[in-house]
Amino acid sequence: MQLNQLCKEIGLEFSGDDVEIKGLHTLKEATSSQLSFFNDKKYLKELPNTKAVAVLIEEQYAQLLPKETVALITDEPYLKLALASKFFAYKIDTKSSELVQGENCDLDPKASFGKGVILGDNVTVMAGAYIGDYTEIGSNTLIYPNATVYHHSKIGKNCILHAGVVIGADGYGFAHTKIGEHVKIYQNGNTILEDEVEIGANSTIDRAVFGTTYIRKGTKIDNLVQIGHNCDIGEHSLMAGLAGVAGSTKTGRNLILGGQSAIAGHLELGDFVTIAGKSGVTKSLKGGKTYAGFPAIEHRDWLRQQVKIASLLKNKTLK
């Protein structure tokens, strides 16, 4: 889309040389044909180095952009991003085409496939499952009834998706107007499950806003688990039922996430972190340790805390 036309559509003034915009991305990842945005001071250091052709930005920060980057001045950059995202969203339709499949695939007649689907060898897809447009599924992967894989997803080899799993649904992303309306940010990225991943029944892995949501090799996820958009879950992690990870959080390898526990968004967890059941992680954590409670702290400190609370309650009862 031409930048001049895009600005008209989202209510911005633009009078410079027109350029073609091919997509949206973060300041760090945007290319010279993509639009980006700035609305959080923690990304301030990324402004001088961005390669984005244009950036939605407040006037007070515009001078930090490279000279070749167009500053699109607005006091609502996040809202303007949401409005722009609609024009780069994948067009959903119900058309299908003959899929490409390897040897010995077992596909139930009641399974559905979109356009451009590619299957490896020995893939099994059971009744009621839907595989969206341009999805790739590796060899020996098993997809149980009524699982749904949205468009442009990639599923590795030797994976198992249990009944009701949803891969690549839109992440929970909205911008808010000054009067409290909620404007959808179209989720234009995708989801990748690497080899030997197993996803339990009715769990959901959201697609990225832009870029990719990753579930790395060998990870095993229980039933009723939610992974938000743009997360990157490390290799060989384990997640128990009713756990959740909010968007843009990155974990190291061998994470253990106990049942009904949750991790807030935009955090980083090191390798070999264990989170006890019903805990709430609110900040980034170092690897190689066990954490518990809300907000989650080291497990041994949490145990001491519980002893002291119990002691206080006991003394109060005695009085």
> In this structure, is residue 94 part of a structural domain?
no
Contacts of 166 (CB under 8 A, 6+ apart): 147, 148, 150, 203, 204, 205
220 and 278 fall within a common domain: yes
Please list the active-site residues: 229
112 and 37 fall within a common domain: no
pTM here is 0.95
Rounded CA separation 105/14 (Å): 53
Residue 82's nearest CA partner among 168, 172, 2, 20 is: 172
> In this structure, is residue 9 part of a structural domain?
yes
Tokens 């409005």 correspond to 83
Peptide bond into 77 cis (omega under 30): no
39 and 180 fall within a common domain: no
151 and 291 fall within a common domain: yes
Tokens representing residue 211 in the block:
């870029």
CATH number for the domain harbouring residue 273: 2.160.10.10
216 and 149 fall within a common domain: yes
Count the neighbouring beta carbons within 10 Å of the beta carbon of residue 166: 20
290 and 163 fall within a common domain: yes
CATH number for the domain harbouring residue 20: 3.40.1390.10
- Positive or negative CA dihedral for 63, 67, 73, 77? negative
pLDDT lower than 70: segments of the chain: 317-319
126 and 173 fall within a common domain: yes
44 and 157 fall within a common domain: no
Query: Are the beta carbons of 277 and 296 closer than 8 angstroms?
Result: no
Give the pLDDT confidence of 113-164 residue by residue, as tens digits.
999 999 999 999 999 999 999 999 999 999 999 999 999 999 999 999 999 9
Q: Give residue 17's pLDDT.
A: 86
> In this structure, is residue 291 part of a structural domain?
yes
295 and 162 fall within a common domain: yes
216 and 263 fall within a common domain: yes
> In this structure, is residue 16 part of a structural domain?
yes
Q: Give residue 313's pLDDT.
A: 85
Q: Name the domain count of the chain.
A: 2
C-alpha to C-alpha distances, 316 to 137, 308, 309, 311, 313, nearest whole angstrom: 61, 12, 11, 9, 5
286 and 155 fall within a common domain: yes
For residue 63, give its domain range. 3-88
Residue 224's nearest CA partner among 238, 234, 239, 246 is: 239
> In this structure, is residue 248 part of a structural domain?
yes
- Sheet with 160-161, strands from edge to edge, namely 106-107, 124-125, 142-143, 160-161, 198-199, 220-221, 238-239, 256-257, 274-275, 290-292, 297-298
> In this structure, is residue 307 part of a structural domain?
no
> In this structure, is residue 313 part of a structural domain?
no
> In this structure, is residue 305 part of a structural domain?
no
Rounded CA separation 191/163 (Å): 18
28 and 134 fall within a common domain: no
